Amino acid sequence: MSQKIQKLRDAARDQTCIVPGCGCTVGVVLAHYSGVRRLSFGGGLGAKVHDLIGSHLCQSHHYEMDTGNRDKDKRWENSETFEFYCLLTIIRLYEQGIIKV
Ligand SMILES: [Zn+2]
């Protein structure tokens, strides 16, 4: 299921971080979801999830999401937050015409 879509990766350049209230534009990348459901999205050992399951995150929030997955007490909450950011990113990409129906 894992699929690399270069257009989605390139689209992360010059975006603002999708986290509400952040607004950072430095170092924003397509941060691939890395939470507890990653196997369902094509992720695994050494494999990133499908490029559609990513979010535009600044370095700080990218780090926060990736490290939050390692906290056993908070990993489900972190997963839900990361998925929320991924959905916001999909809506943004649709509104920008990068994802078309
Ligand atoms: Zn941010």
49 C-alpha to center of ligand 1: Å?
21
Task: Report if residue 65 sits inside a domain.
Answer: yes
Report H helices in the chain: 6-10, 59-68, 75-95
Cα separation, 66 vs 96, in Å, equals 26
**Total number of domains in the chain:** 1
Residues 43-94 pLDDT 10s: 988 899 999 999 999 999 999 999 988 889 999 999 999 999 999 999 999 9
Confidence (pLDDT) at 78: 96
58 C-alpha to center of ligand 1: Å?
4
39 C-alpha to center of ligand 1: Å?
25
Residues 14-51 pLDDT 10s: 899 999 999 999 999 999 999 999 999 999 888 999 99
Task: Report if residue 21 sits inside a domain.
Answer: yes
40 C-alpha to center of ligand 1: Å?
25
59 C-alpha to center of ligand 1: Å?
7
23 C-alpha to center of ligand 1: Å?
6
Domain range spanning residue 44?
6-95
Task: Report if residue 78 sits inside a domain.
Answer: yes
Confidence (pLDDT) at 39: 93
Task: Report if residue 80 sits inside a domain.
Answer: yes
Task: Report if residue 101 sits inside a domain.
Answer: no
The structure's pTM equals: 0.93
Task: Report if residue 14 sits inside a domain.
Answer: yes
Confidence (pLDDT) at 46: 86
57 C-alpha to center of ligand 1: Å?
5
Task: Report if residue 43 sits inside a domain.
Answer: yes
Pairing relationship of beta strands 54-57 and 29-32 according to DSSP bridges: antiparallel
Task: Report if residue 100 sits inside a domain.
Answer: no
